[in-house]
Amino acid sequence: MRFRTILIVAAASSMLATPALAHRQWLLPSTTTVSGTNEYVTVDAAVSNDLFYPDHVAMDPSQVSVWAPDGTEAKIENPSKGRYRGTFDVAINKPGTWKIGMQRTSIGGTFKVGAEEWRVGGRGRPMGPPSAGAPSAGAPAGGPGGPGGPGGGQPPRMVATVADIPANATDIKLSETSSTYAVYVSADAPTKLATTGKGLEFDPITHPDALVSDEEAQFRFLIDGKPAAGVKVVLIPGGKKYREAEDAQELTTGADGLLRVKWPVAGFYWLSASAEDNKPSDKRAAIRRMAFTSTLEVVAP
């Protein structure tokens, strides 16, 4: 499975499970179930204030990957990026459950060289690794526009990766972040979702393409292949533009990693799950933050 780095301003924040966020990243398929293997699904992709209503910025379809039911990677077709919404098609030409989405793993944080703080990763242009003789924050910083000089406000110094942290760095504070956004589309009979045994994963008892508004759904979450207790999950129905309240459900998995969900109405829902522990895959990091997000379709009985 290929992992693609997602460099969207809102990507990290939009995948955290909290209903208070101003902007959320989402994928919206035209349907999650089709009959036969000669069908197409069109997917909208955006970041917006109200879920599934594009009003902020488009997502670039090139950031999205597609996996066929047998695990092989497929392609998006007819990609287009407008002002507020990206869109693309997926040819559903094999039976079973397809996965459409994005996966991202990164390490970020801060460190110091002398008294000067540097950042690892994030937005902005990397400045290259600091030298052992890099000036401290209290030293002269050069001409106008530098820290402490006329017209200050220079962006924080940063390096691109942890490999650029120099040997003389101190006060290193790093965290590992992994996030997945997945939409599932099934042709004919749904098939079991594959898991890898790594990080936070969605391992549902009720298939995500078999959700009915008057039936309880059971979703299981795993961390490193084991049932994950205490995972925070938020479920929000689309259509906020046409109602006053967010109508978010804030839920937590039990000791068995299970979550039991009741759907107040039929329609598309945005699911966001998050967890945190001290077991990063990179030992230089102290914390691991994990997120899983999906768009689910709930049909009327």
Task: Please report the pLDDT score of residue 75 as a whole number.
Answer: 96
What percent of the chain has a predicted confidence (pLDDT) above 70? 81
Tokens of 255: 């000791």
CA-CA-CA-CA torsion sign (261, 265, 268, 270): negative
Residue type, 218: Q
Instruction: Name the 3-class secondary structure at 167.
Output: coil
Distance separating alpha carbons of residues 84 and 199, to the nearest angstrom? 32
- Contact by Cβ (8 Å): 60, 67: no
Which residues, other chains included, contact 57 with Cβ-Cβ below 8 Å and sequence gap of 6+? 9, 10, 46, 47, 48, 84
Distance separating alpha carbons of residues 271 and 26, to the nearest angstrom? 10
Which residues, other chains included, contact 29 with Cβ-Cβ below 8 Å and sequence gap of 6+? 41, 42, 43, 100, 183, 185, 295, 297
**Contacts within 8 Å (CB) and 24+ apart, 140-149:** none
pLDDT beyond 60 at 227: yes
pLDDT beyond 50 at 181: yes
Each residue of 248-289: pLDDT tens digit? Answer: 999 999 999 999 999 999 999 999 999 999 999 888 899 999
- Strands, E assignment, 82-212: 86-92, 96-113, 116-120, 157-159, 170-187, 200-202, 211-212
Give which of 15, 16, 161, 227 is closest to 102, Cα–Cα.
15
Each residue of 124-140: pLDDT tens digit? Answer: 555 555 655 444 443 33
Residue type, 220: R
Each residue of 10-66: pLDDT tens digit? Answer: 344 444 434 444 689 999 999 999 999 999 999 999 999 899 999 999 999 999 999
Task: Please report the pLDDT score of residue 133 as a whole number.
Answer: 47
Helix (H) or strand (E) holding 13: helix 11-14
Phi, psi of 28 (to 5 degrees): -130, 105
In the predicted model, what is the mean pLDDT of residues 176-190? Answer: 97
- Contact by Cβ (8 Å): 297, 268: yes
What percent of the chain has a predicted confidence (pLDDT) above 90? 75
Give which of 97, 83, 84 is closest to 26, Cα–Cα.
84
pLDDT beyond 90 at 218: yes
Distance separating alpha carbons of residues 63 and 160, to the nearest angstrom? 20
Task: Please report the pLDDT score of residue 23 as a whole number.
Answer: 83
Q: Between residues 215 and 129, which one has the greater pLDDT?
A: 215
pTM for the whole thing?
Answer: 0.83
Task: Please report the pLDDT score of residue 141 as a whole number.
Answer: 41
Each residue of 148-180: pLDDT tens digit? Answer: 444 445 566 889 888 899 999 999 999 999 999
Task: Please report the pLDDT score of residue 170 as a whole number.
Answer: 92
Instruction: Name the 3-class secondary structure at 165.
Output: coil
Give which of 286, 259, 285 is closest to 272, Cα–Cα.
259
Residue type, 49: N
Mean pLDDT over the full length of the chain? 86
